[in-house]
Structure 1
């Protein structure tokens, strides 16, 4: 009887994956010439991506200038926000942990009002074949969040076959919002 208990405890205590799916959550709020983005990842997924990208061992995320700099380098290689055809690079405002998720808040500033936005997001596609992105956009002064949209690498490939780019049109002064299909381009 004791042997069964030992075997049960052995298998029960074996490390198992924290989660069996890979998703990031992104919200972008746009007002005039400013966009603020909140993005969340499972901590272990983002740590693995940064370990692979920068050839690090035993790397753990923390809210330090070094970790934030590594993330921003990785982010700029995998995320692009274009306004009227020009790439806008973000400023990292803050970062931190919330349970098993790691989050970042970034700000994009444009010299022109943000009226015609296009986005490329390949964050974590280089690490996980089943990576998904949940995305929401809000334009102000409307103060209404568009419904969440979930993208996978395969849906991006299918989208690429029929469209050459994705555009968010916020209208003049962000008075109206039209959400077109979004391009999440998987790097081949």
Structure 2
């Protein structure tokens, strides 16, 4: 009887551990820092390359091969277009344009850099970020901010793609 109990326990443990690899956690992180001397918010995005490439395949029917020798020449154009469509920022109630600066690869993550004009001192920040929501319903976008030496965060999801912060 003890052998049967051990067998059942080990079988359950094996299936439990093997199911961990089946479910993937979909998350992207965005860091926003206000630089008052330059009247800008500097934003950095951290997005898993495989998730972004899957989104581009679905949306644009292309394979970009980010960070490899096979990266397509139009990759920058598609990155600018995608993030402009999916990230909208209001500062003090006024929508501000996002300027894509560039990218780099760290392991399996694509880091992209942007600036957002902030002509006046930032008092309110409203962010709508639907990055990867059209590809993964489970996607979560973490927004970390450092504005006027105050650190605040938002968690945006498919059901709640927009949030506002007061400073």
After TM superposition, the score normalised by the length of structure 2 is 0.73
Structure in which a larger fraction of residues adopt strand: 2
Could you list the runs of 4 or more consecutive aligned residues of structure 1 that deviate by over 6 angstroms after TM superposition?
none
Gaps of 5+ in 1: 1-16, 158-164, 171-188
**Structure 2 CA distance for aligned equivalents of residues 64 and 87 of structure 1:** 31
Mapping of residues 42-121 of structure 1, within 5 Å: 42-56=48-62, 58-62=63-67, 66-121=74-129
**Structure 2 CA distance for aligned equivalents of residues 42 and 19 of structure 1:** 15
Q: Out of 29, 33, 39, which is 1:29 matched to? A: 33
Judge conservation of contact 1:50–1:71 (CA < 8 Å) in 2.
no
**Structure 2 CA distance for aligned equivalents of residues 95 and 18 of structure 1:** 30
Aligned length: 142
Judge conservation of contact 1:24–1:40 (CA < 8 Å) in 2.
yes
Alignment match, 1:169: 166
Gaps of 5+ in 2: 1-20
Q: Provide the aligned C-alpha RMSD in A.
A: 2.5
After TM superposition, the score normalised by the length of structure 1 is 0.66
